[in-house]
Chains A and B, each alone.
Chain A
Amino acid sequence: MKNVIAFVEHKNGAPRRSSIEAVCAARPVADALGGEVHAVVAGPQAAAVGVALKAYPVDRIHVLDDAGLAQAGIDPLVDALDAVARAAGPSLVIVANTMIGRDVGSRFAARVDAGVTADVTGIEVKGGRVECSSPKLGGTTIATCAFKNTEYGVAAIRPNVFAVNVVAGAGETVVLAPSGKSYAVTVEDDVEEAAPELGVEEASVVVSGGRGMGGPEPFTGMLHDLAEAFGGAVGASRAAVDAGWISHGHQVGQTGKTISPPLYIAVGISGAIQHKVGMRTAATIVAINKDAGVPIADFADLLVVGDAFAIIPELTKLVREAKAVHA
């Protein structure tokens, strides 16, 4: 492996934050391998995304700007990555561990019989070999894996773990030729249900509610307001999702998402193991609960014992004020 290729997801002409993290994670790896950092951007408004990527440490930006690609879903994205990877030769491909990143990374891996490492939180090069570390068994073990028997490797990096480095690279734009294929998959419509906010995987602050919320209202009311004040996202425990108070896409934990935000605020969540495995790697955990004896007391940085329904609206006011001072 010599080069590193970052697959870039984007929306409305801007790269996703987790994809910028992928580009920045690629730089030190490529430097250690003596190779280049490539970025691959395909789909509607890809050209604008390519321009935005020039602010980051990338050498070549491969762009396939084609609004029609959106109708074929994931397949043309895999083709674009595949074309760049074959031209670049043996390389490490970095995708964000997101719904699209996982699909693109895994499907590319099959095409070149590459090893796949998922939920990667560290990448190092030792003796010319790429080593990826990932939390396993609910974060109780960190496994370090290397690739073998393969010229390519895929690393799906956990969002919010790798630092963003705003240093421009060579940023040479390379226009990618369309694959010319007709695709079997048809995207018939694309519906936005939630406000186009960040999902829990990418948000830097996640405000989650659990059984203690007692109903759906706090998720669209006070928790939403607090998350919005932070510019973050609303999460939930399984109990809240199973009760139908909020959709599964917001669920954090064993049967939901595993996340590492800089700040996680757990409201009315006891912190049972099923929830803990999804959020224990958050940098800072604040819990608000009426019961001092909840399991989350053992691993939260701060547990406030009190009435969440009184605390959260007050906290939202204070956060808004604090943000307004800095703005």
Chain B
Amino acid sequence: MKIVVTVKLVPDTNADKRIDPGTMRLVRTGVDTVLNPFDEYAIEAALQLRDKLADGSTVTIFSMTPESGREVVRKALAMGADDAVMLSDPGLAGSDLWATAYAIAHGIKTRGFDLVLTGTQSTDAISGDLPGLLAEYLGVPALTYARELTIAGGRLRVKRETETGYQTVSAPLPALASVTKSANEPRYPSLKGIMGAKKKDIAMLALADLGLTKAVGTDGSRTEVLALATPPPRERGRTVTVSDGAEGARAVLEFLKSRKLL
């Protein structure tokens, strides 16, 4: 079985992030980039499924990224994936959510798959919309927010998180699932894994390989950024030091009443 995991490069949380006012795009040069932390759960889930199946199944990392993302793709390989595909083309620059999903889906289709795993969101865009878009363009069922995944009898079965509990949901393969943080504890790449990753194959895909019928990149995108503004910063509020519980509780209560919150 061919398991494909989509991964994204994101700026490090502690990095100083800014948007270029000219292009209205996130400045990605000179900023530390890391593997989107949410994607690590999808990679770990894929590795566990592969190892459990133990039938020659493979895990392929798929990333739409400029060449500068190669090291992050290597990190995903170092965790234990078998190979990787980088969809990299100057024509993809400026792609919005729609264009990104459309291009990635066609890239994955070009390479073939039985199961696509994604994270639930990225830490920079935080839209959570990619899994749904991908599933539609791939033409497969979407089992989102999976915290437990099993494969049996040609079906994918997941425990799917809901706001108040979970559902057990299944669908025939091929399928897509997004994997939540509760699914597993992602492994750290071992030294052997890091060394081995250097020898693993990273195939390159360009726009021309995808056979797209719709334009992507800045021109083809379905949204455009009109303006960027900095919201007023939160002001430092009041600090009250209290000596016991009753005094602390009263301080909060009075404050809430003054704000008409009680």
Report A's interface with B, CB cutoff 8 A: 73-75, 97-99, 102-107, 109-111, 113-119, 131, 135-150, 153, 156, 184-197, 199, 201, 241, 247-249, 251, 254-256, 258, 262-263, 265, 273-274, 280, 284-286, 288, 292, 297-307, 309-315, 317-319, 322-323
Q: Mark each residue of chain B from 226 to 249: 1 if its CB lies under 8 Å from any CB of chain A, else 0.
A: 111111011111111111111111
**Complex-state Cα separation, A102 to B134, whole angstroms:** 13
Contact A184 B245 (CB under 8 A): no
**Chain B residues with CB below 8 A from A137, complex form:** 17-19, 26, 124
* Cα–Cα, bound, A304→B253 (Å): 11
Q: Are B249 and A185 in contact (CB under 8 A)?
A: no
Q: Are A139 and B231 in contact (CB under 8 A)?
A: yes
Segment at the interface with A among B66-74, B84-92, B135-143 = B135-143
> Measured between C-beta atoms, what is the minimum distance from B254 to chain A in Å?
10
- CB-defined contacts of B233 to chain A, threshold 8 Å: 299
Contact of A249 among B125, B143, B161, B234 (CB under 8 A): B161
9 smallest CB-CB distances across A and B, nearest first, come from A310-B245, A106-B132, A115-B222, A110-B136, A118-B127, A311-B248, A314-B249, A106-B129, A193-B165
Taking a contact as CB atoms under 8 Å apart, the answer to whether B245 and A304 are in contact is no
Q: How far is the CB of B151 from chain A (nearest CB, A)?
A: 15
| B169 pairs with A185, CB closer than 8 A | yes
Residue of B124, B214, B220, B225 near A143 (CB, 8 A) is: B225
Which residues of A are found within 8 Å of B235, using beta-carbon distances? 299
Q: Select the residue from B13, B97, B129, B145 with max chain A CB neighbours within 10 A.
A: B129
B25 to chain A, nearest CB (A): 11
Contact A142 B229 (CB under 8 A): yes
Identify which of B132, B214, B224, B231 contacts A145 (C-beta below 8 A).
B224
- A139 CB contacts on chain B under 8 angstroms: 231
Give the residues in chain A near B247, CB-CB below 8 Å: 306
Closest Cβ–Cβ distance, residue B122 to chain A (whole Å): 11
Instruction: Assess whether B252 is interfacial by the CB under 8 Å rule.
Output: yes
Expressed in whole angstroms, the Cα–Cα distance for A111 and B157 within the complex equals 25
Chain A contact surface mostly? mixed
Are B242 and A136 neighbours in the complex by a CB distance under 8 Å?
no
B interface with A by C-beta (< 8 Å): 13-14, 17-19, 24, 26, 37-38, 96-98, 101-102, 123-133, 135-137, 141-145, 157, 161-172, 180-182, 214-215, 220-231, 233-253, 255-257, 259, 261-262
CA distance A303 to B133 in the complex (A): 42
Q: How far is the CB of B242 from chain A (nearest CB, A)?
A: 4
In the complex, what residues of B have CB within 8 A of residue A256's CB? 181
Are B96 and A115 within 8 A (Cβ)?
A: yes
Q: Which residue in chain A gives the minimum CB-CB distance to B178?
A: A103
Question: Is A141 within 8 A of B244, CB to CB?
Answer: no
Q: Are A284 and B259 in contact (CB under 8 A)?
A: yes
Q: For the complex formed, measure the closest distance between the CB of B163 and the CB atoms of chain A, giving whole angstroms.
A: 4
List of B residues within 8 angstroms of A199 by Cβ: 163-164
* Residue from the list A142, A150, A241 in contact with B228, Cβ < 8 A: A142
Residue of B nearest to A316 (CB): B249
Which of A144, A274, A297, A318 is the one whose CB lies under 8 Å from B250? A318
In the bound assembly, the distance between CA atoms of A137 and B226 in angstroms comes to 16
Given contacts A301-B238, A302-B252, 20 further A-B contacts (CB under 8 A): A99-B162, A102-B127, A103-B131, A106-B128, A107-B136, A119-B127, A131-B226, A135-B231, A137-B18, A143-B225, A149-B221, A185-B143, A187-B167, A190-B165, A192-B165, A248-B180, A273-B13, A273-B14, A304-B248, A306-B245
Answer whether A249 and B163 are a contact pair too, CB < 8 Å, given A131-B226, A310-B244. Answer: yes
**Residue in contact with B222 in the complex, picked from A111, A143, A147, CB distance below 8 Å:** A147
Chain A residue at minimal CB-CB distance from B161? A249
Give chain B residues whose Cβ lies under 8 Å from the Cβ of A74: 142, 144
Q: List 28 A-B contacts (CB under 8 A).
A: A102-B128, A102-B132, A103-B132, A106-B128, A106-B130, A107-B132, A109-B133, A110-B101, A110-B135, A113-B102, A118-B129, A137-B17, A144-B229, A145-B225, A146-B226, A150-B222, A185-B142, A254-B37, A256-B181, A273-B14, A299-B237, A301-B238, A301-B255, A304-B248, A304-B251, A306-B247, A307-B245, A318-B249
A190 CB, min distance to chain B CBs, angstroms: 5
A297 to B235 CA separation, bound complex (whole angstroms): 10
Q: What distance in Å separates the Cβ of A315 from its nearest Cβ neighbour in chain B?
A: 4
